[in-house]
């Protein structure tokens, strides 16, 4: 058994850690809001999805059967505008960026979702939900033809975000041409505009509002009440607040039992302040650009693991400051772990969860998925492996890394990393020349070759099996 500890999860709704009790014994229903596919994903998206990937992996490691749903928003004002700018259909645009998003998540080591529903495939379910809300007096047709949700008719609105109706009222206004009865109300169904994608509904041609899609899709796959609903911090209000109002208003039962949100990823602005990374602020770094940059620094294929490791070194609820110095530091730390595994024996053995480091790792993960504390156990193990080369400890180090989906590459390949100025063929030629020089007792030239390699970031390692190399 992995752990007899209670699994504690911090819920945004209760603002405290709670003992996890699934709706159905042995099974977990988990819904994480995906992206609006009009552009490439940035590192802030990666932070959220890596966090929930690890949460899912730990739940599965604990023996739960996890149904993981991550939606794709493929109809939206931004999508319509971007498609028009590029002179292509919204379908062509969303197919392109959905495929890109899936590639980016796979690059960062995230498992594919159990289900990945697209909003436009669930229009009938959304219409049924809106009709139910209208029948219950929670929705109405505004003067502009949109169908809006009547916020004041839903008791408890604001319980997730902690916002009161008075606070919301103070900052709200109705724009010119809007047909809402109250500035706090939000749209469920938008009346079609010329040239926009649209569907037939009881209220005329139109398209869904943003919030209604997640209520419909989560209910379809996970039921009216499910275990975990997650997403980025910017979704707490209004998106998740509105999901609760719609879902509980229509179904009359609790929507999700645990609300989980990742912390923001921040970048330094020109004025020295830190800002949330977002497309609206034009301060984002796409996952693709980040992978290209890190692969260039640390070696082809290494960059993705370095980025994942960087994200996991901070607790999922805490803010992360993103800068290249911290990425370099993450690479150095990950290198220490791979150095401990390099040449060591221990593959193919099962994890021993009663071993002290594994037990401490499990306690950390059971405490609201505390990856920084769990990772500390990996470094303790690496120290012991370096000292003893005990195959049982090697097994523990690689196996616990595997729970987080790190340390699964060939150590020698990782440690070779990026080669600046020398390709692998040239390095191997120099290694052979150096070997020949040592055999002919030309030690001066042999030392010269070692120094030449070191000057270009290549460390030569003499072992009983021969000379290998890695990036310094």
The CATH number covering residue 306 comes to 1.20.120.640
Task: Say what the pLDDT of residue 297 is.
Answer: 83
pLDDT tens figures, 257-312: 999 999 999 886 656 666 666 655 666 789 999 999 888 888 888 999 999 999 99
Q: SS3 for 176?
A: coil
Q: Are residues 85 and 232 in the same domain?
A: yes
pLDDT tens column, 425-434: 778 888 888 8
Residues 234 and 91 in one domain: yes
Please state the φ and ψ torsions of residue 36, each to the nearest 5 degrees. -90, 115
Is residue 98 domain-shared with residue 234, that is, in the same domain? yes
* Residues 399 and 425 grouped into a single domain: no
Q: What is the CATH number of the domain that holds 213?
A: 3.40.50.620
- 325, with CB counted inside 10 A (0-12, 13-18, 19+), is exposed
- Domain assignment present for 172: yes
Of the candidates 332, 325, 345, the residue with the CA atom closest to the CA atom of residue 306:
332
Question: Which residues does the annotation place in the binding site?
Answer: 33, 214, 239, 243, 279
Binding-site residue numbers for ATP are 279
Examine the domain organization and report whether 181 and 233 are in the same domain: yes
Establish if 88 belongs to a structural domain.
Answer: yes
Q: Look at residues 214, 245, 261 and tell me which one is the last residue of a structural domain.
A: 261
- Is 431 inside a domain boundary? yes
> What residue numbers does the annotated binding site for Zn(2+) cover?
33, 214, 239, 243
The C-alpha atoms of residue 342 and residue 220 are separated, in whole angstroms, by 47
**Are 249 and 209 in the same domain?**
yes
Which residues, in sequence order, are CB contacts of 434 under 8 Å at separation 6+? 445, 446, 449, 450, 460, 467
Q: Tell me, yes or no, whether 336 lies in a domain.
A: yes
Q: Does residue 204 sit in the same domain as residue 111?
A: yes
Please tell me what DSSP assigns to residue 75.
Answer: -
Q: What is the per-residue pLDDT for 176?
A: 44
Number of structural domains the chain divides into: 3
Q: Is residue 1 part of a domain?
A: no
One domain for residues 411 and 397 = yes
321 in a domain, yes or no? yes
- Does 158 share its domain with 64? yes
- Beta bridge partners, 275, equal 267
Q: Looking at the structure, tell me whether residues 216 and 335 fall in a common domain.
A: no
In this structure, the answer to whether residues 241 and 176 fall within a common structural domain is: yes
Token reading at 354: 């009663």
Q: Final residue of a domain: which of 261, 296, 328? A: 261
| pLDDT tens figures, 314-340 | 999 999 988 888 898 999 999 999 999
Residue 148 in domain: yes
DSSP 181: S
139-141/65-70 β-pairing = unpaired
Q: Based on the domain organization, do 230 and 334 belong to the same domain?
A: no
Which residues span the domain enclosing 318? 286-415
Give the residue ranges of the chain where pLDDT is below 70.
1, 170-177, 268-283, 418-423, 455, 471-472
Residue 308's H or E segment, with its range, is helix 302-312
Distance of alpha carbon 369 from alpha carbon 375, whole angstroms: 11
pLDDT value of residue 274: 66
């Amino acid at each position: 058994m992995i752990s007899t500890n209670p699994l504690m999860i911090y819920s945004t709704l209760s603002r405290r850690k709670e003992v996890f009790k699934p709706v159905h014994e042995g099974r977990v229903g988990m819904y994480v809001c995906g992206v609006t596919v009009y552009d490439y994903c940035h590192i802030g998206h990666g932070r959220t999805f890596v966090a929930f990937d690890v949460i899912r992996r730990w739940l599965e490691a604990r023996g739960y059967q996890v149904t993981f749903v991550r939606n794709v928003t493929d109809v939206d004002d931004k999508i319509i505008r971007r498609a028009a700018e590029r002179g292509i259909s919204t379908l062509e645009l969303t197919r392109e960026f959905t495929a890109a998003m899936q590639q980016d998540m796979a690059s960062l080591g995230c498992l594919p979702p159990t289900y990945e529903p697209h909003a436009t495939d669930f229009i009938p379910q959304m219409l049924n939900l809106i009709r139910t809300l209208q029948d219950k007096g929670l929705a109405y047709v505004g003067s502009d033809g949109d169908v809006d949700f009547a916020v004041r008719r839903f008791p408890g609105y604001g319980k997730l975000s902690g916002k009161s109706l008075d606070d919301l009222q103070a900052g709200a206004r109705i724009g010119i041409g809007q047909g809402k009865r109250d500035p706090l109300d939000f749209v469920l169904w938008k009346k079609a505009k010329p040239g926009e994608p649209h569907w037939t509904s009881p209220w005329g041609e139109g398209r869904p509002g943003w919030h209604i899609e997640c209520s419909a899709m989560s209910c379809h796959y996970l039921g009216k009440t499910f275990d975990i609903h997650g997403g980025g911090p910017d979704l707490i209000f209004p998106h998740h607040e509105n999901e609760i109002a719609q879902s509980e208003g229509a179904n009359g039962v609790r929507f999700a039992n645990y609300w989980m949100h990742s912390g923001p990823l921040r970048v330094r602005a020109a004025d020295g302040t830190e800002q949330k990374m977002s497309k609206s602020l034009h301060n984002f770094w796409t996952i693709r650009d980040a992978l290209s940059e890190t692969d260039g620094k640390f070696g082809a294929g290494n960059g993705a693991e370095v980025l994942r490791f960087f994200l996991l070194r901070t607790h999922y609820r805490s803010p992360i400051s993103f800068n290249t110095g911290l990425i370099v530091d993450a690479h150095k730390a990950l290198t220490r772990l791979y150095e401990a595994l390099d040449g060591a024996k221990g593959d193919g053995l099962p994890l021993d969860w009663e071993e002290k480091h594994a037990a401490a790792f499990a306690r950390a993960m059971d405490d609201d998925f505390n990856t920084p504390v769990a990772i500390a156990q990996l470094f303790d193990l690496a120290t012991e492996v370096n000292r003893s080369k005990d195959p049982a400890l090697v097994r523990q180090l690689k196996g616990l890394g595997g729970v987080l989906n790190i340390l699964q590459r060939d150590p020698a390949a990782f440690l070779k990393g990026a080669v600046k100025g020398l390709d692998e063929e040239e390095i191997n030629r120099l290694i052979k020349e150096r070997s020949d020089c040592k055999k002919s007792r030309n030690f001066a030239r042999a030392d010269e070759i070692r120094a030449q390699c070191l000057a270009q970031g290549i460390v030569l390692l003499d072992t009983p099996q021969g000379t290998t190399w890695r990036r310094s």
